[in-house]
Amino acid sequence: MDTELLGKGVLVTGGAGGIGSALVRAFAGEGAKVAVHYHRSQEKAAALAREVGGTSVRADLTVEADVDALVPAAVKDLGRLDVLVCNTGVWPAPDEPVWQMSLERWRRTLAENLDSVFLSCRAFLRHVATTGTGNIVIISSTAGLFGEAGHTDYAAAKGALTSGFVKSLKNELHRIAPLGRVNVVCPGWTAVDRHRDKLDDPKFVGRVTRTMPLRKVGQPEDVARVVVTLASDRISGHVTGEVVTVAGGMEGRVLHEG
């Protein structure tokens, strides 16, 4: 099916990462012009941009001035900007229950996973206000749906995106873009580099997939295809404010004995 994304401008935050690079390639495969955002991964972002014929743009998404400059830079390089994919997120590795968690970590995690999305969406919507059209897809996490012990900070940030943020934004967006849409995608366990050592262990995979009827680990491309579908006005033009889980049917309960 023709997604009608040919020639559209797409900005992918965190575009040089595991899911991010799959997103960039998926949009480029549909003929879109893609801006690969990065913070520290300049070489990876530049290489990926060259590969897909796009551009790379830098910003620290927790710094207001950086984000405010990001969208104009993407528009300048691409010539237009129609879609924002908020993919950037940071999962703090240490397992810390609430009673041991510092306020500094809590605030940092919320800044990296929630403030960053607010600032990115705000910058993009200021552009949308001048064009009257635009579409946002936000990458959240199953942690925001089911919680994650030892990472309450991360789960709280992701949970905010899947509930109050997207539900409110969908009802504001029509004020500046009558057909503008915003949706959220929640990946579960996905085979990205930061999980590589764990996912090479069959026992670990067996344990984490006990809550999933489709007992396998997702691939970045699984997430990317869903995001492209939601970004397409032709395919998903009547879908907004929704949360789509890409996690093999994951539930908050054990479905398999072992």
Residue 178 counted as domain residue: yes
Q: Can you tell me whether residue 6 is helix, strand or coil?
A: coil
Residue 1 counted as domain residue: no
Mean pLDDT of the chain: 95
245: phi then psi, degrees, rounded to nearest 5: -95, 130
Predicted local confidence at residue 201, as pLDDT: 86
pLDDT (tens digit per residue) in 18-75? 999 999 999 999 999 999 999 999 999 999 999 999 999 999 999 999 999 999 999 9
Q: Can you tell me whether residue 243 is helix, strand or coil?
A: strand
Residue 94 counted as domain residue: yes
55 is written with which tokens? 């551009």
Q: For residue 48, what is the domain's CATH number?
A: 3.40.50.720
Dihedral of CA atoms 232, 238, 244, 248 in degrees, nearest 10, equals -80
Residue 252 counted as domain residue: no
Residues 154, 189, 211, 236: which is the catalytic one? 154
H or E segment at 172?
Answer: helix 166-173
Characterize the bridge pairing of strands 55-58 and 181-187: unpaired
53 is written with which tokens? 């014929």
**At 258, is the pLDDT very low, low, confident or very high (cuts 50, 70, 90)?**
low
The mean per-residue pLDDT over the stretch 131-159 comes to 96
pLDDT (tens digit per residue) in 160-191? 999 999 999 999 999 999 999 999 999 998 98
Measured between alpha carbons, how far is 171 from 243 in angstroms, rounded to an integer? Answer: 15
Which domain, by its residues, includes 158?
9-246
Q: Can you tell me whether residue 216 is helix, strand or coil?
A: coil
154 an active-site residue? yes
Say how many domains are in the chain.
1
Residue 254 counted as domain residue: no
Write the burial class of residue 202 (CB in 10 Å: 0-12 exposed, 13-18 middle, 19+ buried): exposed
Task: State pTM to two decimals.
Answer: 0.95
Predicted local confidence at residue 192, as pLDDT: 83
Residue 251 counted as domain residue: no
182 is written with which tokens? 């915003």
Residue 214 counted as domain residue: yes
The mean per-residue pLDDT over the stretch 115-141 comes to 98
CB 160 within 8 A of CB 89: no
Q: How many CB atoms neighbour CB 90 within 10 A?
A: 17
